[in-house]
Chains A and B, each alone.
Chain A
């Protein structure tokens, strides 16, 4: 499928040409689904099929006029037919075509000359008036002298960032709830740079935990505590706390 021209203005016309070759001699093609042409006015449609010893070449040329500006993609034209290569019903599709449509047409030369004659004196008057007003205003309201610059502030030593993990682990040891497990898990995942779609195996596959078995152990133990049945949560939290402590020591 081709379009000529591919760049035009609203109100101008383009010719959309759809070509299909079939291995049989046909007078016309059925089962052709034309794309949605909303945003274009259809000004004409011409179809013909030329047959030869090698089948038929069918061409459809549509004359279109865009009604809106912007880049417009015309979807593929589709055809349901039997594929001659394997004898099976198949769905064929052309390429899509993108048309660039600029804004509306400019006024013609005569209109433009008339507009120029009218607008130019008005524009000059407006500019001169604005300049005079600005001068007068500046004269009446003179700007005060700038105030002296304040003394530079003393440099502030940034506070040491607080590591949230020990607090989260302490909360887990104290409260022993699933919510605390998940908070520790989130922080651990953040530390090893886990993305939200990554699973534990993904992290190990890309060696996010490095070669440190203590980190891997902590991740596994916390993962278990995050997903075990409630009846086993207590034991899983104990294991997680031990693994986290081992990591902290290492």
Chain B
């Protein structure tokens, strides 16, 4: 049985793919995270359409979009908002910060100090913000897409593992192929193309979320996910600490979302295998030997996943 919905997730994926050249796995992961209700960490060099992808997503869902450029002098109030004294009214009024949007792009999140990072991450976790005596709920859906540049580590504040864990997925954005780069030139070399507007609505997203929660996951598949995450905790030459049960929940939520995007109401081992690297890569603590032996962490994650028999 296929899932019937007035506007299906595939429509949104196609609209994004019509704007962004290539990057199909990143767009799929972005959409799955939106449906699963999680936040996304995008890592890749500058100029790979990370911001454009987030902007296109916000425009396509008809939601509000805010971009915050993280810098070392940023303050928590620059993100969550502040209270100012209105002299005319003779009272304090609250000015909400840019975190109050459906899709928030936290650009170069590792360039701001820990206090600012934690202000954002607290909002991500609690989905509400407290300014002075008042608590304000964040809009629904609320998705933070944070970017990190892996090339310039100078003057950055690395996110601790506990905070990285708040991101549902970490997506690696890579350079396009030469064919894709040619198409980028054709599409963006002249007039800037318009972003897809109101392809789906916020209500559609909320309905997909509900439908995703009803996607069936066979007990054998759940066991597979538990085994997969458990395999990261087995003594390993290059891994000091494995993933938490939050990763287990994240894999199942994303596998359900991926199944929904594919038009299924049941998840397959393929869904689990497809989402597992993005869920696990930022949750494992790799030891110094990965550096000294020059081993790619992606290879380690892939090796751990490949070693677990599928159901």
Contacts and interface: CB of A to CB of B under 8 A. Distances in A.
Q: Do A and B bind each other?
A: yes
B274 to A, nearest CB: 8
B306 interface: yes
Contacts of A228: 216, 265-266
Nearest to A87: B154
A224 interface: yes
A124 B193 CA distance: 101
> How many residues of A sit at the interface, in one of the four size bands?
20 to 34
Interface residues of B, number: 22
Contact of A91 (B268, B288, B310): B288
Interface of B: 1, 153-154, 216, 218, 221, 265-270, 273-274, 288-289, 292, 306-310
A7 interface: no
Interface string A59-93: 00000000000000000101000000010000111
Interface in A207-227: 223-224, 226-227
Interface stretch (A12-20, A150-158, A193-201): A193-201
A227 B306 contact: no
A25 interface: no
Given A196-B310, A227-B218, A201 B270 contact: yes
A227 B1 contact: no
A93 B288 CA distance: 8
Contacts of A198: 310
A39 B94 CA distance: 68
The binding surface of chain A is classed by DSSP as: mixed
27 contacts: A76-B292, A86-B154, A93-B288, A196-B309, A197-B307, A197-B308, A197-B310, A198-B310, A199-B270, A200-B268, A201-B270, A201-B274, A202-B273, A223-B268, A224-B266, A226-B218, A227-B216, A227-B221, A227-B266, A227-B267, A227-B269, A228-B216, A228-B265, A229-B216, A229-B265, A232-B266, A235-B1
B289 A199 contact: no
Contacts of B266: 224, 227-229, 232
A196 B269 CA distance: 12
Contacts of A202: 273
Interface string A185-205: 000000000001111111000
Nearest to B158: A88
Nearest to B259: A227
Nearest to B215: A229
Contacts of B270: 199-201
B221 to A, nearest CB: 7
A122 to B, nearest CB: 53
Contacts of A199: 268-270, 273, 310
